[in-house]
Amino acid sequence: MQTLSHSYRGLGLLMRLNWDRALTGFAIVGALTAGTWLATL
């Protein structure tokens, strides 16, 4: 049970550390998509 608890905490830490990287990637893709859409108007 203790091993599962430590694994879960480690996974949570990994998700928190990588969340900002994923959000940055989504922002870049969104900006490129919006730019493409605006260029077609």
Angle at Cα 27 formed by Cα 24 and Cα 32, nearest 5°? 130
Domain ranges of the chain: 1-41
pTM of the model: 0.55
Which pair of tokens denotes residue 38?
A: 């605006």
Instruction: Write the pLDDT tens digit of every residue in 1-41.
Output: 455 555 566 677 777 777 778 888 899 999 999 999 999 98
